[in-house]
Amino acid sequence: MKPVYSFSKSILHWYDRNKRDLPWRQTKDPYKIWISEVMLQQTTVNAVIPYYNKWVEKFPTVYDVAKAKPQAILKSWQGLGYYSRARNLHKSAQIIVLEWDGQIPRTPDDLRGLPGFGPYTIGAVLSIAFDLPEPIVDANVRRVIMRQLNMTGVADAKKDTLIYAHLENLLPKKRSGDFNQALMELGALICKSNGPVCNQCPVYKSCKAYKNGVQELIPEKQSKQLRKLNVAIGVIQYNNKYLIQKRSSKGLLADLWEFPGGKLEPGETPRQALIREIREEVGVEINNITHVMDTDHFYTTNQVKLHVFTCQSNGKSRMRTHQKWVSKRALLNYPMPSGSAKIVEKILS
């Protein structure tokens, strides 16, 4: 037991001296901790801070989230990406209010039944908010433990099972939440993916990868092939209003609003693609077509270059349920993907 105790004690001692001053670390409110942990999934700490502060100001309690309209939730999430997180958060808030009287459940089984509560979120909320001995595994924790144990190869579900089992032996009876945050902090600041600062690590003596000189090779990196897409976008005006349309309720960018357009076909110029897409998608002819900007947008494994044009419609289209003509200022009221939000900024500038 001595090595285990030594590891936990060393990690916590380092954390107490080196932890970053982050807004969600100033509270034990389970709701706010839940919000921060959901936002931090797939998103950097620096990117999350302003979103978290604005969110808890607009939605200070789980009741405020539960009664909010879906579009208000998505608008507040705009720019964070992975919008299914926001939709699941909204659904879970409504369930918590209806079935749990607004109190975040305190057991893994109860949390597991809520949308968006996987092993990581369950462990984070229970350990950090309630100091229950629940382990968590994110990219930072995974990297620290894989290096400690010299687990070669790529990170996968099988390795995560072993990591969870190992962490259950390491978790101290008290300060479980701090221990989990300490491991994440160590991975973020010291045991980094590239250029780990091993001489500042509080547990380098027990690190088998360090002893073998292979710490930078663990975990093995998987190369992701970016798919490059070119998309023509039309900012269509008619009587000083702009046409926007809502995406379907399924898929990565579900229920977000955007300007009409579509992918370039082989051999097409962006202008040709725009005319074809607007004719097919909106059912109108356009004129006074002017190229105003190109902007790159990244999501998952896609690199999308948006070729943006302003244009005039020769008349209002037959409106479909997912389309709207809105004023310039009203564009700010609709949740949009990052690429479309950049276009709105350009229009308003």
Q: Which amino acid is at 327?
A: S
- How many CB atoms neighbour CB 215 within 10 A? 21
Given 37, 185, 258, 277, the catalytic residue: 37
**Would you tell me how many other CB atoms lie within 10 Å of the CB of residue 200?**
13
Question: SS3 string of 17-49?
Answer: HHCCCCHHHHCCCHHHHHHHHHHHCCCCHHHHH
Q: Which of 206, 53, 201, 38 is nearest to 114 (CA)?
A: 38
37 as an active site residue: the answer is yes
- Using CA atoms, how far residue 17 sits from 8, 13, 20, in Å, is 15, 7, 9
Cα separations in angstroms, 293 against 231, 259, 297: 12, 14, 13
CA angle in degrees (0–180, nearest 5) for 262-69-74: 40
DSSP string, 235-282: EEEETTEEEEEEPPSSSTTTT-EE--EEEPPTT--HHHHHHHHHHHHT
| Cα distance between residue 43 and residue 55, in whole Å | 15
Cβ count within 10 A of residue 324 = 16
Burial environment of residue 185 by CB neighbours within 10 A (0 to 12, 13 to 18, 19 or more): buried
Residues serving a catalytic function are 37
